[in-house]
């Protein structure tokens, strides 16, 4: 892994999910990397590729991804 243990942080969170009346929960993973570690790899906010350069995915693509996630995870 290109990062030392103190340069990266992983937080796992449980949040109320859709249909909260049933008490369902959804898990969220948040990954944080220190900016010095990203700069070492040549990644920084001033580079052009750090910004969105193309059109967003079509709406059907997102809907299909959600349908498949629901099918796989019940």
CA–CA dist 59, 50 (Å, integer):
23
Q: Is 1 part of any domain?
A: yes
Question: Which pLDDT score, from 0 to 100, does residue 74 have?
Answer: 57
Cα 48 to Cα 40, 41, 53, 55: the distances in Å are 17, 15, 8, 15
Q: How many CA atoms lie within 13 A of 25 on its CB side?
A: 6
Q: One digit per residue, pLDDT tens: the chain, 74 residues?
A: 588 889 999 998 887 776 666 667 788 888 898 888 888 888 877 776 656 677 888 888 888 888 888 877 65
**What's the number of domains the chain is made of?**
1
Q: Supply the range of the domain harboring residue 12.
A: 1-46
Q: Is 39 part of any domain?
A: yes
Strands 25-33 and 8-16: what pairing?
A: antiparallel
Q: Is 6 part of any domain?
A: yes
Question: Which pLDDT score, from 0 to 100, does residue 13 have?
Answer: 85
DSSP 8-state class, residue 53: -
Q: Is 36 part of any domain?
A: yes
């Amino acid at each position: 892994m290109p990062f030392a243990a103190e340069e990266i942080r992983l937080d796992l969170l449980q949040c109320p999910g859709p249909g909260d009346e049933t008490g369902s929960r959804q898990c969220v993973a948040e990954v944080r990397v220190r900016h010095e570690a990203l700069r070492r790899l040549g990644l920084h906010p001033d580079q052009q590729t750090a910004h969105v350069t193309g059109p967003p995915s079509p709406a059907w693509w997102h809907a299909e991804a959600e349908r498949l996630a629901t099918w796989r995870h019940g």
